[in-house]
Amino acid sequence: MKLGSYLIWAAVAAVSGLFVLLGYFIPVNLIPVAFQLRLLIMQWAVLLAAVGLFVGLANIFLVHWTKVGEQSEGWPYSAILLIFFLITLMVGLVFGPDSETVRLLFNYVQLPVEATLSGILAISLALAGFRILSYRRDFISVVFVGTAFFVLIGSGPGLIPNDGPGYEFFAGLRNWIAQVAAAGGARGILIGVALGSVVTGLRVLLAIDRPYGDG
């Protein structure tokens, strides 16, 4: 690990992070220069994130272009991907992402496929609910599936119709479970996750973890 280069990157990350971090605690107009610099650094980060997206897209293009070039396994699929990628990108760059062609491609290719994948998730979740008790036989899993069952019963149309007897009790039970027990549990999980996030972020700012590599 070259000590020299690693220190530079650590310093760059720490300084840019510090400006953004202090902005959360010190009001904007207390130190105008610091606020302006923080705004600048955040705009650079936003721009670099978009440029990063382009590097990622180039990454995808290279992976599939090599597959087609080497005619390796599954290269016809990669050819299909490259064709649609280049058509959509060219049309989007030339006529803009809000042009009619791009709208048609989005509405009739991207949206239906994503929605259907989300629909497939319904089957995966139902299947997981059926199998969880045979995989993990513990009280916690019983509580998990039982809670889901009662919330579903009390939420909408189902085994107990909305105007059926006892629907009000189950709706009330559902509200209590969701708005009290689950809310308390969720808050505990949120605080726990926040603890982990703070320490993980601090390790990066203090250069203990160096995701940018050692240069």
Nearest residue (CB) to another protein, 3 versus 123: 123
Least Å distance between CB 147 and another protein? Answer: 3
For residues 57-85, one letter each, b for 16 or more C-beta atoms within 10 angstroms of the residue's C-beta and e for the rest, the string is eeeebeebeebbeeeeeeeeebeebbeee
Least Å distance between CB 102 and another protein? Answer: 6
Name the DSSP class of 160.
Answer: S
Query: Which candidate, 52, 24, 53, 49, places its Cα nearest to that of 38?
Result: 24
Residue holding tokens 């708005």?
179
Least Å distance between CB 173 and another protein? Answer: 12
Name the DSSP class of 213.
Answer: -
Side chain identity, residue 119 = G
Are 90 and 109 spatial neighbours (Cβ–Cβ below 8 Å)? no
Residue holding tokens 């250069």?
207
Least Å distance between CB 97 and another protein? Answer: 4
Q: Is 151 helix (H, G, I), strand (E, B) or coil?
A: helix
Nearest residue (CB) to another protein, 69 versus 90: 90
Least Å distance between CB 203 and another protein? Answer: 6
- Dist CA 129 CA 117 (whole Å): 18
Query: Which candidate, 34, 41, 35, 32, places its Cα nearest to that of 13?
Result: 41
Least Å distance between CB 32 and another protein? Answer: 13
